[in-house]
Amino acid sequence: MKKQMSFIEERDELIAELEIEKAKTDVHVLRSMRESWETFDWGWEDTSPPDLGGSVRPHYGARRLVRTSSNIYDRTDGRFVPFYETESDLARMRIQSRNLSTFTSVAIGAQQALANYVIGGEWQYTMEARTDATPPSVIEETQRFIDDFLDYNDFICDLDREIHDSVREDGEALVALYPTANGMCRIVRLEPEQLVEPANARALEEWIGGIDSETSWTFGVHTQYDERAHVEDVRHPLGYHVLHDATGQRFDYLPAWPSPSFDDGDGRCATHFKRNVTGNAKRGISDFWPLIQDLEREWKVTRNTAEGAAVQAAIAYIIENASGVNQTNVESSLSSNAIGSYLQSRSSGSTKTVQVERFDPGTVVRTGRDQRHHAGPLGSLRSPIFIEVAQFLMRRIGIRWSMPEYMISGDASNANFASALVSEAPFVKARQNDQRFFVRCFRKLMWKALKIAIDNGRFSTVSNYGELRRLVDLNIEPAEVASRDPQKLAQTNSILFDKGILDGETWASQAGLDPEKVVPPRGMAPTFAEPDNEMAEMSALQAAMEHVETLAEARNLVRDICP
């Protein structure tokens, strides 16, 4: 009997230990879920795992991402300390930025506005002659390929905008080119999670072949060691290691430049767009990463303010009973004034009777001598401090992109549209700089597509890529960001046209007209309509009125100028 009791006690003790361990695991899982979904503010991170029966001790301070001192390895081999040092750091930054950019309206609105001004509008992709000896047939054939390439991949106003959003959200975009029939290329945008360091770099190098010097594979970007500069040549990567499943069994190596001699000779390659980092960093950083705390706090302030207002809006008014009135009299008064009731269910499973009263328009509420009437929360004059804080946070967020206040907060009371979108405005300058970045990236993509087309025998007018680069050039003209005065622009173009600086085709294209129908011969500028007669008369009358002294002179002046 004694042994049996000992066995039972031992079993119960083991079960209790297992339950404790399970409870600890559940707490860790719940906390990780909560932190990945809601708690973006690092200041509320726990200092140590919670113990059962004990309290969690938060340190109420920012997470220490910054070291006390720097060293020579912080920015070598593609690292970008203090932002990221490993692929785990990139994954953590990426998911937090995506959560905020996906579920907060301010971040979504900011990203859409940036895309509208940077990528929106009509972008022109034009092949131009580099020398006077360039045959027109070369320009026609390459222009036809560029047009087909853009249409085949739904690039304009679709894929280009997707690349822009990915660069904003993740800080980078990996775009691969896969050749198809007749020298055409298919664009595939790969996710940043697919770009990882290979598990067996040596075996991959043997499979690639042709590598003579030391190379690096950190963060999935294949770079070569520069013996002369004694650094990794991160600015000119050799290629990219890409995974297509979580196990690592399905992978691919994408060279940075199409090479017919690599692998099966199809010439597939990839272009890596990265932002917000220096040239020595291998991976980019999200636009939203520096705004994590401001975006999360603005979201909390607006969410809690809206929830509180919704709760307060449900309170019509408040009746305060005088001291000494017992509960029976209060319930009797409520029952006599109520016009109906309903049963309200509770979380515990029980129900509660709720008395309701309806007020028609113009109803006057009269209270007894033992009662005082108070206005509800909506009838009280309160300072909108939380709205002011939310607008302050949104202005701080807008600084990241040099946005005017109305564009980020939606409050147009202090807006000046004319001054916000002129050529000298900070917002316009910032977006023009963004356009130069994407023009450079898209030009690289187009030239790689042309290289693949030549290697696959697409063109009949040129024999190799070097000859093509000597004959033609690719000009990418983005849409205008700044708004312009049409009348001043027309006058400026007229002067430039008379001087022979501006041609008629460019003038007509800027005006959105067909050059074949409206372009005048060289030296003949189109005539512009004179200002409206009424406007001219009013201007002359206003100028003359400043010199009259009597009412009779004013009447005669009006009769002479405006008969």
Q: Are the C-beta atoms of residues 282 and 221 closer than 8 Å to each other?
A: yes
Return d(Cα 12, Cα 6) in angstroms, integer: 10
- Please name the residues in contact with 281: beta carbons below 8 A apart, sequence gap of 6 or more: 75, 78, 79, 80, 234, 274
Q: Are the C-beta atoms of residues 398 and 430 closer than 8 Å to each other?
A: no
Of 423, 382, 430, the closest CA to residue 403 belongs to: 430
Q: Are the C-beta atoms of residues 477 and 509 closer than 8 Å to each other?
A: no
Please name the helix (run of DSSP H) or strand (run of DSSP E) that holds residue 279, with its range, or none: none
- The residue behind tokens 């000119």 is 236
Q: Per residue of the chain (563 residues), give pLDDT as tens.
A: 444 455 566 666 766 666 666 555 554 444 433 343 344 444 444 434 444 444 444 433 334 445 577 888 888 899 998 899 999 999 999 998 888 888 788 888 889 989 999 998 889 999 999 988 899 999 999 999 999 999 999 999 899 999 999 999 999 999 999 999 888 999 999 999 999 999 888 888 888 877 777 889 999 999 998 888 888 899 999 999 999 988 888 899 999 999 877 766 678 899 999 999 999 999 999 999 988 888 888 888 888 888 777 777 776 666 666 666 666 665 666 565 555 555 566 666 677 776 666 666 666 666 666 666 666 665 555 556 777 788 888 888 888 888 887 777 777 666 555 555 555 678 888 999 999 999 999 999 999 999 999 998 889 899 899 999 999 999 999 998 876 656 666 777 777 777 777 777 777 776 667 666 665 554 555 544 444 555 555 566 566 656 656 666 666 665 665 55
Cα 411 to its chain centre, rounded Å, is 20
Please name the helix (run of DSSP H) or strand (run of DSSP E) that holds residue 240, with its range, or none: strand 239-243
In b/e form, how buried is each residue of 192-226, taking b as 16+ CB within 10 angstroms?
bebbbebeeeeebbeebeeeeeebbbbbbbbbbee
- Maximum alpha-carbon separation in the chain: 130
- The amino acid sitting at 284 is G
- The amino acid sitting at 220 is G
Return d(Cα 356, Cα 368) in angstroms, integer: 19
In b/e form, how buried is each residue of 339-355, taking b as 16+ CB within 10 angstroms?
eeeeeeeeeeeeeeeee
